[in-house]
Each structure stands twice: as C-alpha cells, then as structure tokens.
Amino acid sequence: MESLPAKGPAHPVATSNGTCSNHQPSDLRSSVSVRGTQAPARSGGLKLGSRRGMEFEGRPFAKIVKGDNGYVLEDVPHLTDYIADLPTYPNPLQDNPAYSVVKQYFVNLDDTVAQKIVVHKSSPRGTHLRRAGPRQKVYFESDEVRACIVTCGGLCPGLNTVIREIVCGLSHMYGVTRILGIEGGYRGFYARNTISLTPKYVNDIHKRGGTVLGTSRGGHVTSKIVDSIHDRGINQVYIIGGDGTQKGASVIFEEAQKRGLKVSVVGIPKTIDNDIAVIDKSFGFDTAVEEAQRAINAAHVESESAENGIGVVKLMGRNSGFIAMYATLASRDVDCCLIPESPFYLEGPGGLFEFIEKRLKENGHAVLVVAEGAGQEFIAEQSTDMKDASGNKLLLDIGLWLSQKIKEHFAKKPKMVINLKYIDPTYMIRAVPSNASDNVYCTLLAHSAIHGAMAGYTGFTVGPVNGRHSYIPFYRVTESQNKVVITDRMWARLLSSTNQPSFLSHEDVEDAREEPHPTEDMMNCTDGILA
C-alpha cells in the first residue's frame, strides 16, 4: 500500500528483472482522505499533480490513506509526490553477503505498524504508520548520493553512535562514499566548513560522549540552509535533534519540496528527556536513567551518613519527568520524586515538609529527586521570561530553591538539625557515551533512516512504535510532547514504591482523569516504555 504519488497514477518503475511494475502496490489503494473528504485513490481527487503537497486537518503534506474497518495510514511524503518520472534501481543490499541470507530481508511495501495495539474485538483498526526498513527498489544510485549529517539542540548520550552508524550504514550497505558532517548545528550549513565523514573517521566515536560534529541552539535560517544543501549538491539530509530540531527539519523539507529538489530530509529524534511523542522511547534515555543512579546513590550515602541527612538530586526533564520517574523506580532509595506533571506543595498537612519530617523521624534520612521543570510555578516571581537561542524558556534552578526552602523550614525547628546536600548531575549525565542498549538502539535508528532515504521517502522522522521501527510524518512528533501521565499505572507504581504523598485532592484526581488522555489514539503512554 505505497501511498499516492503526486503525478496521477503510479509511475512505472524498472524492476531488477527488467520488467515494469507500479511504484504503488495493488491493494489498499482504497481511499485517501484530504481535509476530511474521501476520494478514490486513483481518481485524481487529491490533485495529485500539485507541487504544493497535500493537506489534512490543517497539516500540510499529510498523506492519509484509509482502508477497511477504520484502518488509517498516516503516510510520509515521497520524492515522487513532487518529482515526476524518477528512475528506480535494485537495492544493492540484495547482493550483500551479510544481508542476502536473511529470509524476507526486504520490507513488504504494504507493511504498516499499528499505533494502538491494545484493542477490543469491536475496535476500529485505527491509525498506522509506515514500517521502516529496506525496500527492494531504491531511488538513488550509490554514487549519486551526497549525504550530510547535522546534530542540533542539547547533548544526549548516543549522538556519536547515530553519526557513526549513518556513515557506516550508508557506506557498507549502500556503497555511498560522499558523506559530509555539518558542524555546530543548523547554522553550520551556512556559517561553517563541512567535514568529510568516512567509516575510518567515525570508527570509535561511539565510545565518546557529546557529538563530534558539535551542536548549537538557534541559527535556523531556512532559506540559507536550503541554499547550502542545493549549492553543495546534497541529496540526503540526516538531522539529529529534539522537538525543536524536528520542527526545523520539517520546514527544510517543505522548502526543498517547494523548490522541487530531489533531496530526502530525514529526522532522527534525540531527546534525553524522552519527551518526543509517538515513539516508544528516545535514545540516550536509558543511559541517562542508569547514570542518574550514581547521583542518587551519592545522595543516599551522604544522607545516611549524617544525622537527619537529606539528599536532593536534580535530574533533567524540562517538561516531562520521565528520567526522574524511572531513576526513582530503578533506585528504590528515593523517598520522594517531584516532576513537572504532578503539582506539589510544601507547607501544611499532606505537604512536602510534613512528609520529609516524618521520614527523618522514621529513618533518620531522606532522598529527594526533583526534575528540573518541577515546581517552576513556585519560583515564577523570580522568572524573567528569558529564553535560549532556540526560544526555549530558561528554567530557574528548582533544586537549589527547594534545598533553600527545606533549610529555612527546619531552621525554625531547633530540635531537628538537618544536614542537606544538593547534587546537580545534569551535565555529567548527558555528557557520557551511550550504554550498550542505547548503542544498539542508535544503530537501528540510523539504519531505518538510511533505508527510508534510499527508498525515496522524505519529510519523516524514524523511531520504534510498539517495538517496530516506523516512518513518522514530522507533524506527528512536533505537535505534542510526550509526558508522564499521572493517572497511568507507572506513576501509581512510583507512588506505591516511595509511598510519598500524591499531593492531589480528590478534585485534582477527577480533573486529571477527565483530561484528554494522551495514550488515546496517537500518543504512547507512560507505560509505553515498559508496558
């Protein structure tokens, strides 16, 4: 069920045995919805010859294919949507000894991945995404490819692994020899020289933290970036970054399409905070949770060794408390975990001070984990509305503020002298190399990205959805953020493990239950990582 090409009926393409086939497979051409209307896929109802792309519910370039029993495919753009008569070539992997032994190595063109896998017998089939993987036909010859890689936004363990695996994958699987590294984030496209990336150059970079290409915030000037892509003859752009970066990648794709360039624009989602929607989990997150254990252990040792010892650890999580929640669940030494999604209060019955006092009396020590975005409303009066170069709001240090407030509270209780140690391991955590499991994950992301670009897809990001790597339209990962759902079971597990107060009144719980649940239909749930 290849989705609709832009130029009317599917283009004939040369097959490996020299016969002709349609790019668009025969079944599931049922219907396509544009702005909520339905038109037979081959009727021209989509204005398929248009170079302006398609639009669905205000989302430009959306490609929606509908099938039986409520089946919906949210497809990703393809170069043939706006460039006519592109030739195809047999995938060189079919002659690769390492891969040719695999039974059914190539992905069936009709394979799609269900976004919702817990269903009832009467449930509609629901939304699906195109399955990632190698296709039998590719739209680039090996020596035609001129790829580039850029890393943007904050650091995250695994960036170097993704770079390495894109370079090695392009080279070893598809025989690509021309791969450029764009230095220093988006602005590197027009303000810096490029570096030539070879398998030898990237051989052991996965053992180092950071990114060998450098990164930055800000600097996204679309026209200059696309000019640079065009001038350098680049036809595959691999963009590694978070939600801001994917928004930037989306406009680069739109501009490339507007100019009619044969350029595949591919996003690889990066966020240590695990706040990217739709995908099961982001790379670097596992490593961050593991590394956070060292800080929590230190806080535990320090607090246990002193009378009325309190350890406060601040972990990353601007808008989403996943690292704090998972690090707490993994450690079992944490007495209380505070995240942006769960409001808390300090004073009075059921408040944080009362809880800490109780724990000190019971155990002689207490460990608190606070995500950086938690409780920002308390320090709002000190907030300056300052933003970083990318436009992200600059947060104030909740860990420092909380530590101060705890000290002030206990200073009023001379019989309870506390000994508080505050640990902020943020940059020590995100600067480490990725762990073994993230390394393997990064490899799969890189390979999925390469296969998609070689197959002519563009304007998409890659990532696992219910364990299957998929191609996801950019708008799906930029229009919402993945957040801890405090009415899901995982947060309940945390509350039960720490036995901390929920800080919620009965009304709060009811309100939270009534809020649209992000697990419905399009988002993955908090439990998505470990269902």
Ligand X SMILES: O=P(O)(O)OC[C@H]1O[C@](O)(COP(=O)(O)O)[C@@H](O)[C@@H]1O
Catalytic residues: 273
286 binds, among Mg ion, ligand X, ligand ADP, none (CB under 5 to 8 A by kind): none
Q: Applying CB under 6 A, does 153 fall inside the site for ligand ADP?
A: yes
Residue where the block lists tokens 């992301």: 445
Phi-psi region of 108 (alpha: psi -120 to 50; beta: other; left: phi over 0): beta
- The site that binds ligand ADP (CB under 6 A) totals a number of residues, namely 19
Enumerate the H helices of 431-484 as residue ranges: 436-454, 474-478
Residue that is written with structure tokens 């720490």 in the block: 498
- 272 contributes a contact to ligand X by CB under 6 A: yes
Q: Which of 88, 112, 211, 245 binds ligand ADP (CB under 6 A)?
A: 245
User: Does 441 appear as a known binding residue?
Assistant: no
Which of Mg ion, ligand ADP, ligand X, none lies near 218, with the C-beta cut-off 5 to 8 A by kind?
ligand ADP
Q: Choose, by CB under 6 A, the member of 5, 53, 77, 154 that binds ligand X.
A: 154
DSSP string, 249-302: HHHHHHHHHHTT---EEEEEEB-TT--BSSSS--BTHHHHHHHHHHHHHHHHHH
One character per residue 362-401, x = contact with ligand ADP (rule: CB under 6 A): ----------------------------x-x---------
Instruction: Walk across the sheet containing 309-315 and list its strands.
Output: 336-338, 365-371, 309-315, 419-423
Stretch that binds ligand ADP, among 17-25, 172-180, 195-203, 238-246 (CB under 6 A): 238-246
Q: Among 134, 154, 317, 463, which residue interacts with ligand ADP (rule: CB under 6 A)?
A: 154
Note whether 217 binds ligand ADP by CB under 6 A: yes
Residues from 323 through 362 that contact ligand X (CB under 6 A)? none
Tell me which residues touch Mg ion (CB under 5 A): 242-244
68 marked ligand binding residue: no
Which residue, 33 or 319, is less far from ligand ADP as judged by CB?
319
**If binding is defined by CB under 6 A, does position 316 make contact with ligand X?**
yes
Task: Report in angstroms how near the CB of residue 316 gets to ligand X at its nearest.
Answer: 3
Query: Is 271 assigned a ligand-binding role in the annotation?
Result: yes
Count CB atoms within 10 A of the CB of residue 111: 14
Near ligand ADP by CB under 6 A: residue from 74, 81, 243, 341: 243
CB closer to ligand ADP, 284 vs 375: 284
Of 187, 247, 314, 430, which one interacts with ligand X (CB under 6 A)? Answer: 430
Q: Among 5, 210, 219, 242, which residue sits at the site for ligand X (rule: CB under 6 A)?
A: 242
C-alpha distances in angstroms, 315 versus 53, 274, 328?
A: 42, 13, 10
Any contact of residue 218 with ligand ADP (CB under 6 A)?
yes
Q: Is 317 annotated as a binding residue?
A: yes
Consult the annotation and say whether 467 binds a ligand.
no
350 Rama sector, left if φ>0, alpha if ψ -120 to 50, beta otherwise: left
**Is 218 known as a binding-site position?**
yes
Beta strand pairing call for 365-371 and 460-465: unpaired
Residue 248 contacts which entry, ligand ADP, ligand X, Mg ion, none (Cβ below 5-8 A, type-dependent): ligand ADP
Secondary structure element (H or E) that encloses residue 114, with its range:
strand 112-114
| 272 has binding-site annotation | yes
Strands (E), 417-505: 419-423, 460-465, 468-473
State yes or no: residue 251 binds ligand ADP (CB under 6 A): yes
Q: Which stretch binds ligand X (CB under 6 A): 34-42, 72-80, 269-277, 487-495?
A: 269-277
Binding segment for ligand ADP (CB under 6 A), chosen from 52-60, 150-158, 224-232, 297-305, is 150-158
Q: Which residues ranging from 380 to 409 are in contact with ligand X (CB under 6 A)?
A: 388
Residue 348 CB neighbours (<10 A): 9
Contacts 24+ apart (CB under 8 A), 248-253: 248/152, 248/186, 248/220, 248/222, 249/461, 249/474, 250/459, 250/474, 250/475, 250/478, 251/220, 251/222, 252/222, 252/225, 252/226, 253/61, 253/77, 253/458, 253/459, 253/474
Residue 380 DSSP symbol: G
Q: Which residues pair with residue 64 across a beta bridge?
A: 33, 74
Binding status of residue 220 toward ligand ADP by CB under 6 A: yes
Least distance between ligand X and beta carbon 353 (Å): 27
For residue 29, give both structure tokens.
Answer: 């051409």
Which one of residues 255, 341, 372, 438 is an interface residue with ligand X (CB under 6 A)?
372
Residue 137, H or E segment: strand 137-138
Should residue 433 be labelled a site residue for ligand ADP when binding is judged by CB under 6 A?
no
Contacts of 203 (CB under 8 A, 6+ apart): 164
**How many residues of this chain interact with ligand X, rule: CB under 6 A?**
11
Nearest to 465 by CA among 269, 327, 330, 286: 269
> Closer CB to Mg ion, residue 272 or residue 296?
272
Q: How many angstroms separate the CA atoms of 282 and 300, rounded?
A: 28
- Which tokens belong to 515? 């809020």
Q: Does 157 bind ligand X (CB under 6 A)?
A: no
Per CB under 6 A, residues contacting ligand X are 153-154, 242, 271-273, 316, 318, 372, 388, 430
Q: Which residues are known binding-site members for Mg(2+)?
A: 243
Residues within the interface to ligand ADP (CB under 6 A): 152-154, 185-186, 217-220, 241-245, 247-248, 251, 390, 392
